[in-house]
Structure 1
Amino acid sequence: MARAVGARSQFAAAFETTYGTAPVSGYLKLPFVSTRLSSEQGLIESDLLGLGRDPTDPIRDVINADGDVVVPVDLRNFGHWLKLLLGTPTSTGSAGAYTHTFASGGWTLPSLSAEIGTPEVPSFPMVSGVKANTLAIQMQRSGAASATIGCIAQGETSATSTAAGTPTEAVLDRFNQFQAAIKKDGVALGNVTGASLTYSNNLDRVETIRNDGKIDGADPGMATLTGSLDVRFADTTLLDAAIAGTAMELEFSYTISATKKLVLTAHKVFLPKPRRSISGPGGIQASFAWQAAKGASRMLTAVLSNDVASYA
């Protein structure tokens, strides 16, 4: 009997026309590092008395479908995750050099269906009504670039054969941490040893009463954008801005070339004044837990430059 292994698992996804209804075609084969996206249904223990010491049967609780998907930050596939998180981008360009601009603050966000298959069993559950709630990216000096996408879904349907057909697969071109850069107000920010960025749609589950235990949807709430900057204490540039309450623009990027890059811009960032501590003879560091707000038109802009013509 074959046993499922992660190396043979498959993640196929397609954007939905109708929320919660899996498309019959148009699936994409998306690379992933790990996933916990699935549904669960708990049990409620019996509260009945008068029938002896042994309890009667438990009853089934509602269905909760959600989980994180850790994906590579790459040149082509990551655009689909940005679309799920922020909505359809504005795309320009030609001849293999395209620029896709994603913006925060949209009222309507798309959903997709994801089939997470393990062919050895075989098992091909389809998770439908998937919306992206959060995006978290960690920047550091070395390693491969990855992002964690927190998802909320409507439900899951079990199957023993694939419904995704033969998914379209893009050439993988993954960004690496050594290709990262951070700018403050358009100027390279020095002495940064680590950084993080977390965006949240703060999705609100619509938990209506229905006989299948599923939710009716997940509506976007007030978005938030937060993160951290860990810096060696070499000057007071960030400290002065924190004390004065001065807003700044922070740009986080991964660059392969002029036509192959990802730029995430937090347009209006505020820094708190951090506590400074000296714990030994080594270098002194400070950590700033920043918060972003809406700038002139939006809070966050993500610009992906690649050879994909459209993410519509």
Structure 2
Amino acid sequence: MPDVASQRSRGLVLAAGLQTDFVSPLSSGLGRYTYYEESLNTTEAPAEDNELGLETHDDRSPTDPGPGSKGGQGSIVVPADLNQLGFWLTLLLGTPDTTDNEDGSWTHVFESGADTLPSATLQRALGSGRWKIAKGLMVNSIAFGLAKSEDGYRTFRLDCMAREVYTAGAPIEADPAAMAARAKLPAKRGLTRLNSVVNAQLVSGEFTFANNLQREDYADSADDAGDLASAMEPGDLSFSGNPTYRFKRGAALNGAIDLFTSHTTPFAHEIEYARSDTSSLLIATPRCFAPPAVPAANGPGPVDFSTSITARQVVGETPAPLMTVTLTNAVESYS
């Protein structure tokens, strides 16, 4: 038997495009996107079918299973490429409000809280004439960090759900559109603001925004077999983070701890990643809460303090979304 090389992932292309609705996959119009990891898989599992009265060998062994509901879920780790990221943010938050800056850049403003969210068709080469196909792909949550101790480039983790995930012998589109010009964000870039001021010595921080999608199955004959989801409905939104700050000798340098004195006192929180004036990402949550933070002495080294941040929407005469994401880049549209 001849030796056969193992398939490796480095050259396996991922392509995706926005669907017009959840149940109508694309047949063309995909674009190329880069990624670090992709773990989408089917969630279809057989159901026990304990039918009685069959001619069986014995009365203790199970008989054939029945069909289960089709679906898929998994994660995609993507680079913080500010030109590519708008596509994934559109899936996460909906279509942005876009402004032409008339300097070769566009500013896209995404707001959380949309009643409906887009879905996508995705294909990824598996090698040897096989492709992974995901239809009705939706982004359930995004996770990102702010630690500057990391080298290389920053990444974002997208947890996804899909109407269907399967393998095929042919791609949906053999020649996807070329990817946008690269705008990768170095991991050392990034800062945080509390109440619009850089008043904290941030050591590390991990943050997550979640749509909390819920599968819905309606008796609507959306597919012949009736085993595909009718919709993925957005649930209650959540934004959470676990930042750790360094306590400094100068009292004026410890502005963060002055904010974390009561779990009922709101504050504004911002995370900004910037490459230049025309390539940046700002994640703003204007009304956040955190339990009191008290520094601890964990040995002879520096004194740190941590807290858990959650965000809420702004209510009243001038309501505002729980989270607003402002992306400035060189891409005109993601529709």
Q: Which residue of 1 aligns with 2:163?
A: 154
Would you say the 8 A contact 1:76–1:173 is kept in 2?
yes
Count of paired positions: 311
Specify the alignment match of 1:303 in structure 2: 326
Q: Does 1:41 align with 2:44?
A: yes
Query: Partner of 1:62 in structure 2?
Result: 69
Q: Secondary structure at the match of 2:307?
A: strand
- Give the C-alpha shift of residue 277 in structure 1: 2.9
Residue pair 1:176, 1:254 contacting (<8 A) in 2 also:
no
**Aligned pair partner of 1:107 in 107, 115, 118:** 115
Mean CA deviation greater in 223-232 or 42-51:
42-51
Alignment partners' CA distance in 2, 1:160 and 1:2: 20
SS at match of 2:173: coil
Distance 2:68 2:296 in 1: 49
The 5 Å alignment of 1:10-25 reads 10-25=13-28
Determine if the alignment matches structure 1 residue 216 to structure 2 residue 226.
Answer: no
**Equivalent pair of 2:15/2:124 in contact (CA under 8 Å):** yes
Aligned CA distance change for structure 1 residues 259 and 28 (closer, same or farther; 3 Å):
same
Is 1:31 aligned to residue 34 of structure 2? yes
| 2:140–2:212 Cα contact (<8 Å) kept | yes
Distance 2:6 2:203 in 1: 42
Asked if 1 retains the 8 angstrom alpha-carbon contact of 2:180 and 2:331, the reply is: no
Give the 3 Å change call, closer, same or farther, for CA 108–43 of structure 1 in structure 2. closer
SS of the aligned residue for 1:63 comes to coil
Q: Is the 8 A contact 1:126 1:156 kept in 2?
A: yes
Give the drift of 1:157: 4.4
Larger radius of gyration: 2
Q: Aligned partners of 1:299, 1:55: CA distance in 2, in Å? A: 50
Structure 1 gaps, min length 5: none
**Mapping of 1:49-128 within 5 angstroms?**
51=56, 52=58, 53-93=60-100, 94-120=102-128, 122-128=129-135
- Distance across 2 between alignment mates of 1:64 and 1:17: 19
Residue 197 of structure 1 corresponds to 207
Residue 152 of structure 1 aligns with an amino acid whose one-letter code is M
Shift in Å, 1:181 = 1.0
- 1:236-287 CA-to-partner distances (Å, cap 9, x unmatched) read 5333322233211111111111111111111111111135432211112111
Q: What letter matches 2:76 in structure 1?
A: V
Are 1:254 and 2:257 counterparts? Answer: no
Using the TM superposition, give the Cα deviation of residue 49 of structure 1 relative to its aligned residue in structure 2, in angstroms: 6.9
Q: Deviations over 1:168-210 (max 9, x none)?
A: 2112221112111111122113310001221111111103467
- Per-residue Cα deviation, 1:72-122 (whole angstroms, up to 9, x for no partner): 1112000000111011111112241211111111112111011122132x2
> What does residue 129 of structure 1 align with?
136
Q: Aligned residue for 1:176?
A: 186
Encode CA deviations 1:216-239: one digit per residue, 9 max, x unaligned. 110111211111210012355333
Identify, as 1 or 2, the structure richer in strand.
1
**Secondary structure of 1:62 counterpart:** coil
Counterpart of 2:313 (choices 272, 276, 294) is: 294
Instruction: Indicate the larger mover: 21-30 or 80-89.
Output: 21-30
What residue is the counterpart of 2:241 in the other structure?
227
Match of 1:289, as an amino acid? S
Equivalent-residue separation in structure 2 for 1:133 and 1:55 (angstroms)? 36
SS of the residue corresponding to residue 82 of structure 1 reads helix
